């Protein structure tokens, strides 16, 4: 299950990176949404308890599950600090 969630996360971030590179208007919002989803998945690994009352993952694995959120946070902060890319149909030239 964790491998599937991780693979979906990688695919989603690659798609978002492509959208940013292509200058899509919605890319910043999509990256922010990916960060929120990733943080939710990471927090669930820390907080969800199994039938015994213990967390489903050992604490070390739970905290490691939140580590990619730091990279996502850095990427989103940098995206929002950068001016938006010009659009192809707006009469601007791309570099």
Which stretch of DSSP H or E encloses residue 25? none
Q: Tell me the mean pLDDT in the region 78-89.
A: 71
Domain that holds residue 57: 31-82
| Inside any domain, residue 77 | yes
pLDDT in tens, 27-83: 999 999 989 988 888 888 778 877 787 777 777 877 877 888 888 899 899 988 877
Number of domains in the chain: 1
Q: Tell me the mean pLDDT in the region 9-17.
A: 89
| Inside any domain, residue 66 | yes
pLDDT in tens, 15-33: 998 998 898 989 999 999 9
The CA distance from 20 to 23, in Å, is 5
Q: Counting every residue, how long is the chain?
A: 95
Residue 32's pLDDT is what? 94
| Inside any domain, residue 23 | no
């Amino acid at each position: 299950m964790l491998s599937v969630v991780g693979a979906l996360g990688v695919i989603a971030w690659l798609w978002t990176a492509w959208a940013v590179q292509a200058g899509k208007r919605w890319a910043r919002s999509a990256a922010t949404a990916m960060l929120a989803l990733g943080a939710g998945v990471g927090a669930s690994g820390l907080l969800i308890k199994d039938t015994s009352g213990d967390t489903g993952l050992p604490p070390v694995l739970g905290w490691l599950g939140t580590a990619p959120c730091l990279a996502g946070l850095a990427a989103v902060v940098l995206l929002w600090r950068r001016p938006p890319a010009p659009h192809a149909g707006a009469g601007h030239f791309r570099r």
